[in-house]
Chains A and B, each alone.
Chain A
Amino acid sequence: MSPPKSSDHGPAPAIVCRGVGKRFYYYEHRTESLRELFRRSIMRRPIHIRRPEFALTGLELSIAQGESVVLLGRNGSGKSTTLRLMAGVYEPSEGVVETHGSLTAVIELGAGFQPELTGEENVELYGAILGLSRIHLKARFEEILRFADLGDFITTPVKYYSSGMKARLAFAVAVCVRPDVLLLDEVLAVGDFEFQQRCVERLGTFHSDGGTLVVVSHDLPLVRQLCSRGVWIDRGRIVMDGPVDAVADAYLAGVAEGG
């Protein structure tokens, strides 16, 4: 995996957010049926009553290739929104998000899993969805199954899996796709301690191979092991950006103060 280079100044950053803002609408009334739409249009009443809310404003963030970053923050602070913007699932309302290199995001557990298919079949399907070619998939199949460690359950339909099992399967495939950039949204929380340690190990290999990692997590001890840099987002803005221990400590202190 050779990192893409920009024309002169050395390797391009893996992810750049410049002046990024994300606006959502808070609806006081939302017309959800065609019949109501018709009625309201005839009666000249407003179709939606809504106001904009900025989940993120003025986000400036640059993540270099090979960095491992954690996004910290209270629920609703905008950290998941940031991750989704990086993943391309959301489009920014303002500003620019740039990513360089192949990117794999695990945001919702089992997104793309077909409940009726077995674990093995879902590995094939999910791998294909994530852009893994047939050849690579065959070569890495054993590796994926070994990491997921589901034993005989690999041949049962995924609808019978616990969320921990789904997490292991999704994570195994995502990591074995060997993307340049890996984004994880609180999926590690679902597994047990043993799985989390295996993830830390596997992500360590990912890191030493030069991969870039961005995670959203509430598990501070875990992310201290996993990441070198922390970004604290509060109410849609970056409050602190630095070495993970410093940021995690500050975040904890901030939470303790009820701020």
Chain B
Amino acid sequence: MRDRRIMHSSRQRWSITEVWRYRGLLRTMVVWGLKVKYQRSILGFLWTLLNPLLMVATLTAVFGYIVRIQMHDYWAFLLSGYFAWNSITLSLFAGTYILAEHGSLRRSISFPSEILVFSAAISRLVEFAIETVLLIVVLAVAHHHGVPSGLLVTPLLFVPLLLLTAGLMLPIATVSVFFRDTQHILPVVLTALFYLTPVFYRVDMVPHALQPWYAVNPFALLLVQFHTALYDGRVPSLAMFSRTMAVATVAFVVGYALFNRYKNVAAEVV
């Protein structure tokens, strides 16, 4: 921040270079965000795990024993996908309040506000990475009884996950600034999406006529690969990974463009 800054009227500064200049601030926010949240306690992190674990237990009970989806180690299948879904959900929710939460900071200091969104996305990813490590260990021991290559390849999926999530958080954050009820509508949308995304079932369980539609759902692409890597233990196909990367990148570019379009107006909303 020690260099010359020239601001011109109404010109959209091409943000990605700005973000690079403020990378120190981004790092600070991620590190301190996690520090504040986990305030010297590992117990805090265990609480973060509690919610998704309870959900997985419930889903196992309901879909495993009541609805009776036939699958070997169904609990492992659920674990392999649910944490990714949980991470996406938490990130998108964060998008609805991250800008409001830092209102006084935005009014006081000049910095590209996407940093706030990125810091929330990255913080969540850090937590998800730790969860994934734990998942890999649990699945290796209790489900695979070994370490298939799919497990080791899983971290590669973090890249499209981050791009897709951030790409959606950006317009959600913008809309949330202008429309207060976004945080109430999002849970409803995500609940519906939970059932429309193959989180607790496989795509091949779906009637053939409907299967092609799943390709339209970017979350489906990601979830299928998490299932493949963690539950099947196989390395996801390059074709599918490329497609997911392409979709995630497009989502990011479009989301960022939308965010930038309304960035200055959003900065002045009370």
Contact = CB atoms under 8 A, between A and B. Distances in A.
Q: Do A and B bind each other?
A: yes
B268 A24 contact: yes
Contact of A95 (B2, B9, B109): B9
A32 B185 CA distance: 13
Interface in A29-76: 31-35, 37
Question: How large, as a class, is the contact surface on chain A?
Answer: 35 or more
Interface in A89-129: 89-103, 105-108, 110-112, 114, 116-117, 125, 128-129
A131 B1 contact: yes
A173 to B, nearest CB: 12
Interface in A72-87: 84, 87
Contacts, number: 108
A31 B181 CA distance: 11
A131 B25 CA distance: 7
B7 A107 contact: no
Given A116-B39, A125-B28, A128-B24, A107 B107 contact: yes
A136 B2 CA distance: 14
Contacts of A242: none
B175 interface: yes
Interface in B1-23: 1-10
A236 B268 CA distance: 18
B179 A129 contact: no
Interface in B42-81: none
B4 A33 contact: no
A129 B29 CA distance: 8
Contact of A106 (B28, B36, B108): B108
A107 B180 CA distance: 26
B110 interface: yes
A82 B246 CA distance: 44
Contacts of A98: 5-7
Given A116-B36, A117-B36, A105 B9 contact: no
A96 B9 contact: yes
A150 interface: no
A89 B106 contact: yes
A164 interface: no
Contacts of B107: 84, 89, 107-108, 111
A130 interface: yes
Contacts of A125: 28, 32
Residue with the greatest number of chain A CB neighbours at <10 A, chosen from B110, B182, B268: B110
Contacts of A129: 25, 28, 105, 109
B191 interface: no
B262 interface: no
A210 interface: no
Interface of B: 1-10, 24-25, 28, 32, 36, 39, 104-110, 175, 178-182, 185, 264, 267-268
Given A89-B107, A111-B105, 13 more contacts: A32-B178, A34-B179, A87-B109, A98-B7, A99-B7, A101-B2, A102-B1, A103-B1, A103-B5, A105-B110, A107-B108, A112-B104, A131-B2
